[in-house]
């Protein structure tokens, strides 16, 4: 089953002094302002394609890792995924994924293995791979269930 999601931007003016408004068809969040300065200098409450791509990657990767862990019989209690995209000289060069997980019954080596496997099944990772260097740092943390004992 194919799924299509849409977003639209209206841009006015030139690249460096113009600005745009972004909206998503789902209505999941309100219209957002985008500018060149938000991409290259300070966000000042505006977003950028890189920030939106980082959000998409973090969400997609979290779902892929949750699925990978569940399939191996060790469903996660909690996953925290942070993604950062770097724009350098007009090109997106790197994606840094920081992953922390609380997974009862799993050791750090197995968590790292699952994290790497999830990177191969995440559709956003697969879309940017071979164009952007993806760096993954995965860390298993003590689960909340273990802390209560």
**79: how many CB neighbours lie within 10 A of its CB?**
19
What is the per-residue pLDDT across 96-108, written as a single tens digit (0 to 9) for each?
999 999 999 999 9
In whole angstroms, give the CA distance from residue 131 to residue 67: 25
Number of structural domains (the chain) is: 2
Is the whole model's pTM more than 0.75, yes or no?
A: yes
The verdict on 74 and 97 lying in the same domain is: yes
The verdict on 62 and 13 lying in the same domain is: no
The verdict on 17 and 65 lying in the same domain is: no
What is residue 130's DSSP assignment? T
> CA angle, 112 as apex, 106 and 115 as ends, to 5°?
100
The verdict on 30 and 93 lying in the same domain is: no
Residue 95 lies in a domain: yes
Identify the CATH number of the domain in which residue 88 sits.
Answer: 3.30.300.20
What is the per-residue pLDDT across 46-95, written as a single tens digit (0 to 9) for each?
999 999 999 999 999 999 999 999 999 999 999 999 999 999 999 999 99
Residue 124 lies in a domain: yes
Pairing between β-strand 19-24 and β-strand 32-34 as defined by DSSP bridges = antiparallel
The verdict on 30 and 89 lying in the same domain is: no
Q: What is the extent of the structural domain holding 80?
A: 49-148
Residue 54 lies in a domain: yes
Residue of 68, 139, 127, 130 whose CA lies nearest to 97: 139
């Amino acid at each position: 089953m194919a799924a299509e999601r849409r977003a639209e931007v209206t841009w006015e003016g030139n690249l460096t002094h113009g600005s745009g408004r972004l909206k998503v068809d789902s209505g999941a969040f309100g219209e957002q302002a985008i500018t060149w300065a938000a991409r290259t200098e300070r966000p000042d409450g505006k977003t950028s394609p890189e920030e939106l791509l980082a959000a998409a990657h973090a969400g997609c990767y979290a779902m892929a890792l949750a699925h990978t862990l569940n399939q191996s019989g060790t469903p996660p209690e909690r996953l925290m995924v942070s993604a950062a995209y770097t724009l350098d000289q007009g090109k997106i060069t790197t994606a840094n994924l920081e992953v922390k997980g609380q997974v009862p019954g799993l050791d750090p080596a197995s968590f790292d293995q699952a994290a790497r496997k999830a990177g191969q099944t995440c559709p956003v990772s697969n879309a940017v791979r071979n164009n952007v260097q993806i760096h993954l740092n995965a860390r298993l943390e003590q689960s909340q269930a273990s802390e209560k004992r």
